[in-house]
C-alpha cells in the first residue's frame, strides 16, 4: 500500500508541475496554456530587423508557419509570463504605462532563493547575457506591432545578487518605428503560431482522479483476499 501511495503522489505531482500558465517545448518555443498559442523563444531571431522578419513569414521564408501577434495576444501572453495572480512580486503596477501596460518587480533574495520570476525566465529564453558582479544579467526585448507603432515587452533577470530586482514590463505607449529596419543582438521580434497540442497534452484532473481510484480498487481487491 505504501508503494501505491507514493505512486499516486508522483502522478499528482507530475500534473501540478505541468499546470503552469507558461510551458516549455523542445522546439525553441514556449506555450501560453490559456490560449494554446506557441511563441518563439527570445534569442532565436536576434540580429534581424523587424522588417526583415516580417518579410520571412510567407511560404519558403525563414519563418514559414509563424506570424506576427496581435496586440491583444501580446498583452495576454506577457501578463501570463508575469502571472501576478499566481505569484507575489514586491512591486506590481498593472497600468504603469497605460491600460494593461504593466511593470512588475521582485527582488533577488540570495544565491539559493532568487526572484519569483526565475522559473518562467528559464522557459522563455533571453536575448543577451552579460557579467554582473559575481553573477550575470539576462535581458530580453521582444518587439511587436503596437497600437501606435513598434512597441516592446522586456524582462531583466539578475542572478546571485541580494536586493537587486528582476523586472518584467510591457510598453505600448511609444513609437519605436525608427528601429524597424535595424537589427540588434539584444532584440527579438515576437512571433506566434497555433501550438502542437498533441505533443503537450496533459491529463485533466478528472482523468487523474479516475486513474487513482482504479489503482485503489486494485489494491483493495489484493488486500481483501
Burial of 56 (0-12, 13-18, 19+ CB in 10 A): middle
Residue 217 to residue 225: CA distance in whole angstroms = 13
How far apart CA 180 and CA 52 sit, in angstroms, is 9
What is the pLDDT at residue 55?
97
With respect to residue 133, please indicate whether it lies within any of the assigned structural domains. yes
Q: Domain tally for the chain? A: 1
pLDDT, one tens digit for every residue, the chain (225 residues): 434 333 333 333 333 333 479 999 999 999 999 999 999 999 999 999 999 999 999 999 999 999 999 999 999 999 999 998 998 999 999 888 888 899 999 998 765 558 899 999 999 999 999 888 878 889 999 999 998 899 999 999 988 777 789 999 999 988 889 999 998 888 999 999 998 754 444 444 544 444 444 444 434 433 344
Asked if the structure places residue 116 within a domain, the reply is yes
| Whether 212 contacts 11, CB under 8 Å | yes
Q: Are 43 and 124 in contact (CB under 8 A)?
A: no
For residue 148, the enclosing domain spans: 43-196
User: Is 19 within the bounds of a domain?
Assistant: no
Give the pLDDT confidence score for residue 23 in this predicted structure. Answer: 95
- pTM of the entire structure? 0.76
206 belongs to a structural domain: no
| Any domain includes 201 | no
CA–CA gap between residue 125 and residue 44 (Å, rounded): 8
The pLDDT assigned to 197 comes to: 56
**pLDDT for res 203:** 46
**What is the reported pLDDT for 136?**
86
End-to-end CA distance of the chain: 14
Neighbouring CB atoms inside 10 A of 84's CB total 17
Domain presence at residue 88: yes
Query: Does residue 202 belong to any structural domain of this protein?
Result: no
**189 occurs within a structural domain:** yes
Amino acid at each position: 500500500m505504501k508503494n501505491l501511495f507514493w505512486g499516486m503522489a508522483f502522478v499528482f505531482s507530475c500534473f501540478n508541475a505541468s499546470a503552469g500558465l507558461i510551458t516549455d517545448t523542445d522546439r525553441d518555443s514556449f506555450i501560453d496554456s490559456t490560449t494554446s498559442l506557441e511563441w518563439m523563444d527570445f534569442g532565436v531571431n536576434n540580429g534581424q530587423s523587424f522588417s526583415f522578419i516580417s518579410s520571412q513569414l510567407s511560404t519558403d521564408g525563414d519563418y514559414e508557419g509563424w506570424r506576427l501577434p496581435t496586440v491583444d495576444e501580446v498583452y495576454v501572453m506577457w501578463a501570463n509570463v508575469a502571472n501576478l495572480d499566481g505569484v507575489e512580486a514586491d512591486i506590481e503596477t498593472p497600468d504603469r504605462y497605460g491600460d494593461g501596460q504593466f511593470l512588475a518587480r521582485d527582488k533577488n533574495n540570495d544565491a539559493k532563493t532568487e526572484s519569483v520570476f526565475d522559473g518562467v525566465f528559464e522557459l522563455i529564453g533571453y536575448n543577451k547575457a552579460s557579467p554582473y558582479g559575481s553573477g550575470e544579467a539576462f535581458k530580453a526585448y521582444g518587439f511587436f506591432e503596437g497600437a501606435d507603432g513598434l512597441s516592446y515587452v522586456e524582462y531583466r533577470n539578475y542572478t546571485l545578487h541580494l536586493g537587486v530586482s528582476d523586472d518584467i514590463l510591457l510598453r505600448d505607449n511609444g513609437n519605436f518605428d525608427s528601429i524597424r529596419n535595424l537589427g540588434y543582438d539584444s532584440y527579438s521580434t515576437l512571433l506566434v503560431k497555433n501550438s502542437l497540442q498533441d505533443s503537450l497534452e496533459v491529463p485533466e484532473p478528472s482523468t487523474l482522479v479516475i486513474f487513482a481510484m482504479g489503482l485503489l480498487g486494485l489494491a483493495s481487491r489484493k488486500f481483501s483476499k
